[in-house]
Structure 1
Amino acid sequence: MPFNALASAQARAFAHGQVKFVYSTSTTCILTYGNGDLIKINGVWRRIPQGGVTITNAGLVAQTLYYCYAYWNGSAVTLEFSTTGRATSTAAGNEGVMVKNGDDSRSLVGMVWVGTGNLFYDRSDLRWVRSWFNDNGVVVSATSAATVSTSSTATAIELDAGSRVYALLWTGEFYAALVHGSGYNNTANAYDYLGVGFAIYPNGLSLVGSWQYKQTPSSTPMGQLSNSWGAVIPNDGSYYFNSMALVSAGTVTFTYKQTTVTSVRR
């Protein structure tokens, strides 16, 4: 229902929404309390119920980005998924609210990337449910102890899919990626190179930033390599990160890999 002037004034302090859109189960997401229960829809402040508002994965297609919008159905706040993008409203009374492009009756609350099995995913290495409100960023991290090798001298290769991390990121969100590996080269005086790989999922990785390298002083000593890179995300979407490597000679074998990405909304 609409609210009195005091409630509306309090709500305005929270940039059009006190709510938060979150993962609940592999088939359900929920719009719940963030720092309150109010959201502005079509120029009117509305309250979500104590149990939140749920939406399922019914009808969604895997490997697709969907935005989640809240609307007023005449008696309650309701959610819908749509592939239609977002836009900033300029309508009187609704100025500045992020809405469904071309439809001021739908206020943006979040986005999801639908994964394998048409399911929602939210894990320590994979964040595919994001909220528009009360979401400062994500941290994703993965490690792998699988033994992997490369003798590539010209083309950077992804070392190990087991150390990939995945994140659904908003336009303008800043990310900082860190990759680390423990390995050895079977050729003395060879150089081993480690870099940060970045891509829009599921495209192939590309190196971002520059290489970090070490030289093998003698055959097969274990060495540590780390590299990092940070940048601003150009478009809403699902991205992934991992280690990439090549050598100047010989074969480098990595026995441990770690990838960590931290993002910050600006």
Structure 2
Amino acid sequence: MQISDALKKILNGESVPTTGQFRTALGQLYDFLTGIVGTDTTDPATLQSLLGQVAHHGQCQLVKSGANLVLKPLNGNKLMVGGKMRTIPAAGVSMTADGLTPGARYYIYVYMDGDTMTLRPSTTGHITYADSGVEVKSDAGSNTLVGQVRIVAGPAFQDTPAQRFVRSWFNDPGISCLNWFTATRSTASPSYVELSSEIRIEFLTWLGEIIHFGGAGGSSQTNSGVVNATAVSIDGVQPELGSWSGAYMPINNFGVPFSTSFFKAGLTEGYHYATLVARVVGSGTGNWSGGTPTSSNPEVCTLAAAIPG
């Protein structure tokens, strides 16, 4: 029997030949499917169900819910764990941050503790399991990757516009970050410096993501004929290429707007932060506006980032 014929019979719910004939026809696919169900079978209904389940691996999302981390079912409830298709409980699988280290990043894996689906935090990285294509813990193929987190003081999980520290491996919605200066920040430095760490936006990335950054606001100068230079920096004070914005000050103490928008690729997987850096081209002191950003107070300096889901 040809493989295509055998698959058609399964999907149509028809009977198939003997186990030996079917194994010969489908080879490794047969072994893979029966390995998932845990029994040697040619029952068409069982095999039809298995084919559907394999296609639906990853029907879940890792989220922060209250103080806990929860793996919840999404668009189904199937997840491959330990080489078998498992059903995620309707209430999800949760864990607390107890015992985790603030400032540390953890990958979150799922494993089976007997019949109980359990979340496991680990600093150990992940690989693609050759036999199934499932992303797993690099030293334990029975642990399926479902996300990553960074812990804040408490210890606690965090997922706010200024700190996007919960990312899901499956069905990740992306991130949106936003922060601003609560008060005016100043510098007279001729070289780039971070104006204030309070505007930092912090986030976790997956390998290969492209991030859109944007900054805007108003600045002024104590001297005329001076340029206030503003840029975005990632993980330091070096301005990112394409993020520079210059504002020429024709009159001292006169506010001039600035804005910047650029895309960044190639960041390593894990924790990063972005901030506003600035310098004065000339003499005098530059002042960057702060306060509460509203439609009637648009000159407040803001920093934003987004990763599409």
TM-score (norm 1): 0.90
**2:147 aligned to 110, 114, 117, which one?**
110
- Give the match for residue 9 of structure 1: 51
For 2:54 and 2:308, the matched residues in 1 are separated by: 23
Give the secondary-structure state (helix, strand or coil) at the position aligned to 1:5.
Answer: helix
For 1:174 and 1:5, the matched residues in 2 are separated by: 40
**1:248 aligned to 281, 284, 291, which one?**
281
For 1:241 and 1:177, the matched residues in 2 are separated by: 9
- Give the match for residue 214 of structure 2: 178
**2:230 aligned to 176, 188, 194, which one?**
194
- Runs of 4 or more, structure 1, over 6 Å off, are none
Q: Cα 1:7–1:144, aligned 2, differ >3 Å: closer, same or farther?
A: farther
For 2:246 and 2:276, the matched residues in 1 are separated by: 13
**1:52 aligned to 92, 110, 113, which one?**
92
1:206 aligns with 2:238: yes
**1:23 aligned to 61, 64, 68, which one?**
64
Q: CA deviation at 1:74?
A: 2.3
Q: CA deviation at 1:136?
A: 3.7
Q: CA deviation at 1:139?
A: 0.5
Q: Cα 1:71–1:212, aligned 2, differ >3 Å: closer, same or farther?
A: same
1:124-139 matches, cutoff 5 A: 124-139=161-176
Give the secondary-structure state (helix, strand or coil) at the position aligned to 2:306.
Answer: strand
For 2:237 and 2:100, the matched residues in 1 are separated by: 26
1:168 aligns with 2:204: yes
Q: Among the aligned pairs, what percent are the same residue? A: 30
- Give the match for residue 301 of structure 2: 257
Checking the alignment, whether the CA contact within 8 Å between 1:196 and 1:228 is kept in structure 2 is: no
Q: CA deviation at 1:2?
A: 4.8
For 1:123 and 1:2, the matched residues in 2 are separated by: 41
Q: Runs of 5+ in structure 2 lacking a partner? A: 1-35, 39-45, 290-299
Give the secondary-structure state (helix, strand or coil) at the position aligned to 1:12.
Answer: helix
Instruction: Pick 1 or 2: higher relative contact order, CA cutoff 8 A, min separation 6.
Output: 1
1:6-58 CA-partner distances (Å, limit 9, x unpaired): 443333334x31111111233x2011012211101122110011111111112
Checking the alignment, whether the CA contact within 8 Å between 2:205 and 2:267 is kept in structure 1 is: no
Higher Rg? 2
Paired residue type of 2:186: S
Q: Cα 1:8–1:20, aligned 2, differ >3 Å: closer, same or farther?
A: farther
For 2:47 and 2:194, the matched residues in 1 are separated by: 57
For 2:249 and 2:239, the matched residues in 1 are separated by: 23
Q: Cα 1:235–1:11, aligned 2, differ >3 Å: closer, same or farther?
A: farther
Q: CA deviation at 1:124?
A: 1.9
For 2:104 and 2:126, the matched residues in 1 are separated by: 16
For 2:62 and 2:50, the matched residues in 1 are separated by: 21
More helix by share: 2
Checking the alignment, whether the CA contact within 8 Å between 2:180 and 2:199 is kept in structure 1 is: yes
Computed over aligned residues only, the root mean square deviation of the Cα atoms, in angstroms, reads 1.8
Checking the alignment, whether the CA contact within 8 Å between 1:181 and 1:224 is kept in structure 2 is: yes
Q: Runs of 5+ in structure 1 lacking a partner? A: none
For 1:83 and 1:44, the matched residues in 2 are separated by: 24
- Give the match for residue 235 of structure 1: 268
1:11-90 matches, cutoff 5 A: 11-14=53-56, 16-26=57-67, 28-90=68-130
For 1:39 and 1:86, the matched residues in 2 are separated by: 17
Paired residue type of 1:31: L
For 1:169 and 1:77, the matched residues in 2 are separated by: 26
Q: CA deviation at 1:220?
A: 1.7
Q: CA deviation at 1:233?
A: 4.0
Checking the alignment, whether the CA contact within 8 Å between 1:213 and 1:225 is kept in structure 2 is: yes
Give the secondary-structure state (helix, strand or coil) at the position aligned to 2:174.
Answer: coil
More strand by share: 1
Give the secondary-structure state (helix, strand or coil) at the position aligned to 1:11.
Answer: helix
1:76-112 CA-partner distances (Å, limit 9, x unpaired): 2111111110111013xxx211000021100001111
Q: Cα 1:7–1:114, aligned 2, differ >3 Å: closer, same or farther?
A: farther
- Give the match for residue 259 of structure 2: 226
Give the secondary-structure state (helix, strand or coil) at the position aligned to 1:8.
Answer: helix
TM-score (norm 2): 0.78
Aligned residues: 255
